[in-house]
Chain A
Amino acid sequence: MAIGVYLTFRILDIADMTAEGSFPLGAAITAHQIVSGTNPIVATLLGFLGGCAAGFVSGFLHTKLKIPALLTGILTLTGLYSVNLFVMGKANVSLVGDFKTVLTLLPITDQTVAAIVIGAIVLVVVIFILVFFFNTEMGLAARAVGDNEQMSLANGISTDNMKMVVYMISNGLIALSGSLMAQINGYADSSMGIGTLVIALAAIIIAEVVIHHVSFGVRLLTIIGGAIIYRFIIAAVLWLGVDPNSLRLFYSLMLAVFLSLPLFQKKIKQRERRHQNVLNNSVRKEDQSND
């Protein structure tokens, strides 16, 4: 999820609200397909493709119709709410029972272990493909678009098309994580996307605050680390006896804190430097007085 959000957030510099719609969309499509007896791998891939379609809609609204990115996300998100209900036929679909999911494909009976194994496999494959793609001719162009749009145009890159590609990959991955989440939790729910964007952004920011300046591939790995740290923080908060109802308030507060951290880091560094400067200065003065 966080990796998908990272693509639009950092490569295109857009915090894309579509995420909160494509997450349950992936879950809804996969759950519906599994209940209908489709092969779970095919069902998962269909979830991914559904996310790509949602990304295409947002990308199209944003680039071709020039609707601001924030509104685009809200529009698609709102529309997807109905789409998700339509796909599932009701507000939630349970996968508990005799259904085949990607987890039951493994020869592992412990569902938790199976979930971890599946998660790891998917992550490795996804990161490998992303690192490969963003170093191809087209991938370079996509990165350039987010970095310097003028320069991209001057070098003949269709910035609109590249943005749409990133939107599609990004939302495809978010839907993929929704799809896996549904299979791990054993249900798909039309409201399961609420608050996910904030969680994903928090994971990204934690990763960036803890370790800065790394290559693209390593960054994707650190985002997973960020997500795990985030989970631990939430677990700690719950363990401290905070009312689960106020959890989302905590999500937001925490993200606000994380977002402002880079500023504080800079301030602290500046203060250190100033301190050092003053020290050097007084040392110099001492030297002079010793002369």
Chain B
Amino acid sequence: MTNILEIRDLHQYFERGTVNENHALTGINLNLAAGDFVSVIGGNGAGKSTLLNSVAGSLPIDTGHILINNIDVTYQSVEKRAKLIGRVFQDPKMGTAPLLTVEENLALALRRGEWRNFWSSGVKRRDRKLFQERLATLGLGLENRLTTDIGLLSGGQRQAITLLMATLKNPALLLLDEHTAALDPKTSAIVMQLTDQLVNELNLTTLMITHNMADAIKYGNRLIMLDHGKIVVDIAGADKKKLSVTDLLNMFKENSGQEMNDDAVLLS
């Protein structure tokens, strides 16, 4: 079976060679098969975001290799890799261009990884139909607001659209970094539901960082826990289904020797 994502011995340092040197990733090895939906958990500063940023290309890589679809992307720029990667950030403002309309944002996502010409119109009539269909599946009434500036929408609405944009072109890999953390519980649940639905429908290979233990258990077929820049737990299939929140907290304690002192965890 071929791997969609292959990470080989990845190290990441911040301020290397100074007194503040921070060895943020200390040798990550990870293979994702097609359709793997992986929850990523770990305490603050464990290196989760650093891992995702390395895969996405927003952090240059010190040592190690990253392959997506068996293509070595270690030294590819973010915009080049974007051809293979769909991404949703924690901050709902980060995934969309506020001064552009809903349809313009979607049109940009529709040409991800392709050459953009300067003669045909950016938002095409046939695309509009597709956008309306996709927006209708959100059940947020956004299909009637194609020409609204995205900046005028709520965080939840923007995040839902970002998710549509990230999956519009069937990316080889979907990266989600606490993409529901900034939303209220109800909206957060809707966006999580939508995520699950899209990932299953399109059979997307996905890495999802979350601080919500219940979500981490409920969604996905595999779970990894990071601590001090290393993968310390990797559970898949039936074993993962049996997990409880208490199990996870215990595992965390065993591995890091401390309680997971995180509001989000305790509340969930």
Cβ distance A188 to chain B, nearest Cβ, rounded Å: 31
Is chain A's binding surface mostly helix, strand, loop or mixed? Answer: helix
**Which residues of A (139-178) have their CB < 8 Å from a CB of B?**
139-141, 143-144, 147-148, 150-159
A144: chain B residues within 8 A (beta carbon): 97, 100, 104-105, 108
Contact indicator B122/A151 (Cβ below 8 Å): no
Among B17-25, B63-71, B109-117, B245-253, the stretch that binds chain A is B109-117
> Taking the complex as formed, is B98 at the interface, i.e. its CB lies under 8 A from any CB of chain A?
yes
B166: chain A residues within 8 A (beta carbon): 154
B165: chain A residues within 8 A (beta carbon): 155
A144 to B116, CA, bound (A): 13
Cβ distance B268 to chain A, nearest Cβ, rounded Å: 28
Cβ distance A76 to chain B, nearest Cβ, rounded Å: 24
Which residue on chain A has the smallest CB distance to residue B98?
A147
Contact indicator B121/A147 (Cβ below 8 Å): no
**Which residues of B (88-120) have their CB < 8 Å from a CB of A?**
89, 93-100, 104-105, 107-109, 111-114, 116-120
Cβ distance B173 to chain A, nearest Cβ, rounded Å: 12
Q: What count of chain A residues pass the 8 Å CB interface test?
A: 22
Contact indicator B98/A158 (Cβ below 8 Å): no
> Taking the complex as formed, is B224 at the interface, i.e. its CB lies under 8 A from any CB of chain A?
no
> Taking the complex as formed, is A133 at the interface, i.e. its CB lies under 8 A from any CB of chain B?
yes
B99: chain A residues within 8 A (beta carbon): 143, 147
Contact of B78 among A140, A143, A154 (CB under 8 A): A154
Q: A143-B97, A148-B96 are in contact. Are A136 and B118 (CB under 8 A)?
A: yes
A159 to B113, CA, bound (A): 13
> Taking the complex as formed, is B142 at the interface, i.e. its CB lies under 8 A from any CB of chain A?
no
B83: chain A residues within 8 A (beta carbon): 156
Which residue on chain A has the smallest CB distance to residue B85?
A154
Contact indicator A140/B109 (Cβ below 8 Å): no
> Taking the complex as formed, is A261 at the interface, i.e. its CB lies under 8 A from any CB of chain B?
no
> Taking the complex as formed, is B62 at the interface, i.e. its CB lies under 8 A from any CB of chain A?
no
A133 to B83, CA, bound (A): 24
Contact indicator B100/A143 (Cβ below 8 Å): yes
Which residue on chain A has the smallest CB distance to residue B94?
A150
A sample of 23 cross-chain residue pairs with beta-carbon separation below 8 angstroms, ordered by A number, consists of: A135-B121, A135-B123, A136-B116, A136-B120, A137-B120, A139-B122, A140-B104, A140-B116, A140-B122, A141-B108, A141-B116, A143-B97, A143-B100, A144-B97, A144-B104, A144-B105, A148-B94, A148-B96, A151-B94, A152-B108, A153-B82, A155-B108, A156-B111
**B residues touching A (Cβ–Cβ < 8 Å)?**
56, 58, 78-80, 82-83, 85, 87, 89, 93-100, 104-105, 107-109, 111-114, 116-123, 165-166
**A residues touching B (Cβ–Cβ < 8 Å)?**
133, 135-141, 143-144, 147-148, 150-159
Beyond the given A136-B120, A152-B108, please list 7 additional residue pairs across the A-B interface where CB-CB is below 8 A: A137-B117, A143-B104, A144-B104, A147-B99, A151-B94, A151-B97, A154-B78
Q: Which 4 A-B pairs have the closest CB atoms?
A: A156-B82, A140-B122, A137-B116, A147-B97
